[in-house]
Structure 1
């Protein structure tokens, strides 16, 4: 079917509310990394979904939080910039009948934009249905949303209904991305993010938040169609480097193996992954290093 309507939709919310899980559920495959740690997403990620005569371009954004580093400033700025020029905003919240600071700030921004806004209450699989009424009422008093929809992004419950609802707000216009495209991220960026996800999953406390990944080589071997990936993991302290590598290299091997398997699923090809660990002290407060690691204004 020919695309007759298309539009940009920002997915916003506090950290760890399920924005990346919802993005993946909408697309039907993994393009955004997901962990149970706050501030997993650092960049804006575009996800492209085609349904009937509509093309939706969703922007998964970092969670709005109080920045404590230059990297944190960058992430907060990404959220604010992402909401600036869109056709609709999707505010994702947890099923709690209380509006916190990040939600209040995002609602104030939505009001100033004068664009259609949908309140999506996520994680409904964790509460009784009756509890949702109080949540809906609390948010309905704060802003006149165009629609309120309870979903479970983890179980893909309510995802199709959300797309049908958002189609009402999409303006007429040609498709913005080719039909077979699901994200605007280059393959090497997705692979770097997959490796960072495994660092977040396997490491404790503050260590994974102080890591960055740089792919120094990303090339396909023509003779056997294997993709060679050389990646450098940067951390902020020498002691962290030892923990990432682990006893006899065990932790680094575990992280690399998990990452390679996900890279192969995403690429649809064999991947030969080599990883190194280097120390860059306080890189999260160094603007040049932040930009070198791919966190640039978009």
Structure 2
């Protein structure tokens, strides 16, 4: 372990509009899957830490919910507050802008908020692999030149091809300030084990469902334990999870015809958990209806 006097550390808030690629970016920077990813907005509901240690440096990336401009319910209001609070706590801000939605109103709002905090601010342009003609990036950057004197730089990146990631990493490392590490060297995220299990299943539900249904559901790991198989002597993980929805129609969609969708979701979740923990996994999913679960959790 490096001596505390030589250590540098920093909290780096990753903020942006909904579905701008924040979670994918964090997973690439951490080189480990700590945040779930989907192509739907409002996937991230709480601040998720991705922790990277390199020599004397510890970078703590905070994956935040997408900035909701006009919250419509307690959950969206909670997500908006979480994003703002994460920005207040951070030493460095990374404003993530999806190149295909470069003029979303949240982008300038977040840039202004970062600059007002007087912390180093980087602008990261994500999903550049969607653009074959990279010359289009220059006019996009020019459209944000009124922020130029207040930001460290503009970094076009692709979380898919890893283009531009190394340059971004070096820029962030250079901004870390002297200070003792906040987390142990082997820690990758602050999420508890059971929450991590719930998030995996929620991700598979997001990918399997459409429209507003994923946003209106919750996954809770009610019980889990390790045990050794008496016959094979191999370690096994047994998990029981509850999926909560608001309406009977939503429950039917989650279950699917003759239970096909929920079985498919369970299979995908089990495969990922097995891959992460290198053991046999037994996963049991149950769906319940609670019309007020959002108000009870976030009201």
Aligned partner of 1:25 in structure 2 is 28
* Pick aligned residue for 2:142 from 132, 137, 141: 137
SS at match of 2:89: coil
SS in 2 for 1:41: coil
1:199 to 199, 205, 222: 205
1:232 pairs, out of 226, 242, 258, with 242
Q: Alpha carbon RMSD of aligned pairs, Å?
A: 1.6
In the alignment, is the contact (CA less than 8 A) between 1:67 and 1:73 conserved in 2? yes
Size of the aligned set, in residue pairs, is 289
Residue aligned with 1:90, SS: strand
2:218 to 189, 212, 216: 212
Structure 1 unaligned runs (5+)? 292-298
Q: Distance in 2 between matches of 1:20 and 1:100?
A: 18
The CA deviation string for residues 131-188 of structure 1, in whole angstroms up to 9 with x for no partner, is 1111111112135211111100122222222111111211111222111111111121
SS of match in other structure, 2:12: strand
Mapped to 2, the partners of 1:70 and 1:169 lie a distance apart of 36
Question: How does the TM-score come out when normalised to structure 1?
Answer: 0.92
- 1:96–1:135 Cα contact (<8 Å) kept: no
State how 1:59-78 maps to structure 2 within 5 Å. Answer: 59-65=62-68, 66-78=70-82
Give the C-alpha shift of residue 98 in structure 1: 5.0
Q: Runs of 5+ in structure 2 lacking a partner?
A: none
SS of residue in 1 equivalent to 2:177? coil
Aligned equivalents of 1:140 and 1:150: distance in 2? 15
**Cα distance between partner residues in 2 of 1:134 and 1:282:** 47
Distance 1:175 1:246 in 2: 47
Counterpart of 1:106 in 2: which secondary structure?
Answer: helix
**Residue by residue, what CA displacement relative to the aligned partner does 1:198-248 show, whole Å, maximum 9, x if unpaired?**
111001221111110111101111454211110000011111111211222
Would the aligned equivalents of 2:195 and 2:220 in 1 still touch at CA under 8 Å?
no
Q: Counterpart in 2 of 1:9?
A: 12
Whether the 8 Å CA contact 1:46–1:57 is kept in 2: the answer is: yes
Decide whether the 8 Å contact of 2:127 with 2:157 is kept in 1: yes
1:254-273 → structure 2 map (5 Å cutoff) = 254-273=264-283
